[in-house]
A and B are shown apart, each in its own frame.
Chain A
Amino acid sequence: MVTTERIWASLAAIPDPEIPAVSLVDLGVVRDVQVTDRSVRVTFAPTFLGCPATEVMQREIAERIRELGAEPEIEIAVEGWSSDWITEEGRRKLEESGFAPPSGSGPTTLLQIQSGVHRCPYCGSDDTKLENLFGPTPCRSIRYCNACRQPFEQFKTL
């Protein structure tokens, strides 16, 4: 029978469909794995409700579990996903691929977003400004670095 560790390792190899530098485990969307006689039950927390990638994620999780010879059962977590659940490893990988990781934890105000310290993932400067609260996907804002003149994507705090 497949072990819980084996399942976690397998899920940790699934890249995020939109930011492949991080895995689903890095992103904190896999909340729990329970192996029973009949199935493997994964508790999954979708990120933003409007994010189309969450369906792809669930499909990928189910496929990996089937590949290991077990029957997947995916349950949606009661508690809503928070950007605080992104692991340290995940934050490091985000920054390395040009995404500023989420800062602090909610609730967020516009003032915090405009004035708070947000580090440029390219040059490390704190001299950055908010360009747009919204970005190419629901989870990102757009900032601009005054030091290296590079626009960059900021993961939203949720």
Chain B
Amino acid sequence: MNAQELLRLADDELILGWRNSEWTGIAPFLEEDVAFSSIAQTEIGHARAWYELAAEELGTDADALALDRDPAEYESAPLVELRLVPDWARTIARHWLYETADAVRIEALKGSDDADVASLAEKIDREETYHRMHAQMWADRLRDEPRFEDAVDELWPYAAAMLPPTQRSTLADRVGKEVPSNKVLLSHERGQSGDGLRVLWEEMTMVRRSVPGAKW
């Protein structure tokens, strides 16, 4: 698998992990504070594992890929870059759409010809089971709430555009939506990082930039 594809997976998980961690301390109740913090931790762990594979191909290391690139070089999907605190309905809509989309992607990766990719996907898939259960539980709970429905409608084109074109119809079936038009998809695809990612990046890389080469 080429490095760019690995970086897409890694960047999605890193940035989403970061966004999820923004709920630490301010989630609507304590259980969700713990849940979002724990999910953030595992997503960032998955990011690191994908970065390590990409780093082997690129002759660098995982930290350099995660923290030393310019924001414009990140391959993350706009879906994960959106800053959604303090909006719980949109947070859950993204969580559910992302986990559902990620499951489609991971299933395909488990069948990869690249043995390292297939075995990592298998391991990540088992851990993600808990994220999916959590996302589904919340989606079921909020299903008829107009704010949640509006949030799913708003974020659906982002979720569809996050996946490669061949996987979009599978995702559409699972979330009960139609694949958006090409015009809509184009405006939600990767490579259109806005100021949101730059602000996140400034904070995420602050320590690393402040003491270059520090060992922990």
Chain A positions within 8 Å of B, measured between CB atoms, are: 48-51, 78-82, 106-110, 113, 131-138, 142, 156, 158
Q: Quick check: is B42 within 8 A (CB to CB) of the other chain?
A: yes
Check A110/B126 contact, CB under 8 A, given A134-B35, A138-B42. Answer: no
Cβ-defined contact, A50 with B43, below 8 A: yes
CB-nearest residue of chain A relative to B48? A49
**Which of A50, A106, A133, A158 is within 8 Å of B35, CB to CB?**
A133
Contacting residues of chain B (113-153) with chain A, CB-CB under 8 angstroms? 115, 119, 122-124, 126-127, 129-130, 133-134, 136-137
Given pairs A81-B123, A156-B130, 20 additional interface contacts (CB within 8 A): A48-B45, A48-B127, A50-B46, A79-B119, A80-B126, A82-B126, A106-B129, A107-B129, A108-B129, A110-B133, A131-B31, A132-B34, A133-B130, A134-B130, A135-B38, A136-B34, A137-B38, A138-B42, A138-B45, A142-B31
Q: What total of chain B residues lie within 8 Å of the partner, measured CB to CB?
A: 27
Q: Which residues of B contact A78 (CB under 8 A)?
A: 115, 119
Q: How far is the CA of A138 from the CA of B38 in the complex (A)?
A: 6
Q: How far in angstroms is the closest Cβ of chain B from A43? A: 14
By a CB distance below 8 angstroms, the chain B residues around A81 are 123
Q: A131-B31, A132-B34 are in contact. Are A49 and B124 (CB under 8 A)?
A: yes
Q: Which residues of B contact A113 (CB under 8 A)?
A: 133
- Contact of B24 with A by CB under 8 A: no
Interface string of B152-190 (1 = CB under 8 A from A): 000000000000000000000000000000000000000
- Selected from B39, B48, B127, the residue in CB contact (under 8 A) with A158 is B127
B contact residues vs A (CB 8 Å cutoff): 31, 34-35, 37-39, 41-46, 48-49, 115, 119, 122-124, 126-127, 129-130, 133-134, 136-137
Check if B43 sits within 8 Å of A110, measured CB to CB. no
Contact A50 B42 (CB under 8 A): yes
Which residue of chain B has the shortest Cβ distance to A156 in the bound complex? Answer: B130
Please report whether the interface of chain A is mostly helix, strand, loop or mixed according to DSSP. loop
- What is the minimal beta-carbon distance from A91 to any residue of chain B, in angstroms? 19
Q: Nearest CB to that of A106 among chain B residues?
A: B126
Give the chain A neighbours of B123 by CB distance below 8 A. 49, 80-81
Nearest B-chain residue to A109, judged by Cβ? B133
**What are some 21 contacts across the A-B interface (CB < 8 A)?**
A48-B42, A49-B123, A49-B127, A50-B42, A50-B45, A50-B48, A78-B119, A80-B119, A80-B122, A80-B123, A80-B126, A82-B126, A107-B126, A113-B133, A132-B31, A133-B35, A133-B133, A134-B38, A137-B38, A138-B41, A156-B130
Residue on B nearest A77 in the bound complex, by CB: B119
A56 → B minimal CB distance (Å): 12
A134→B127 contact, CB < 8 A: no
Distance in angstroms from A17 CB to nearest chain B CB is: 15
Closest beta carbon of chain B to A85's beta carbon, Å: 13
The contact of A51 among B39, B45, B129, B130, by CB within 8 Å, is: B45
A49 in contact with B133 (CB, 8 Å): no
A137: shortest Cβ distance to chain B, in Å? 8
Shortest distance between the CB of A19 and any CB in chain B (Å) = 16
Docked-complex contact B34 and A134, CB < 8 angstroms: yes
Distance between Cα atoms of A78 and B38 in the complex (Å)? 25
User: How far is it, in angstroms, between the C-alpha of A110 and the C-alpha of B130 when the chains are bound?
Assistant: 8
**Residue of A with least CB distance to B134:** A133
Query: Once bound together, how far apart are the Cα atoms of A79 and B35, in whole Å?
Result: 27
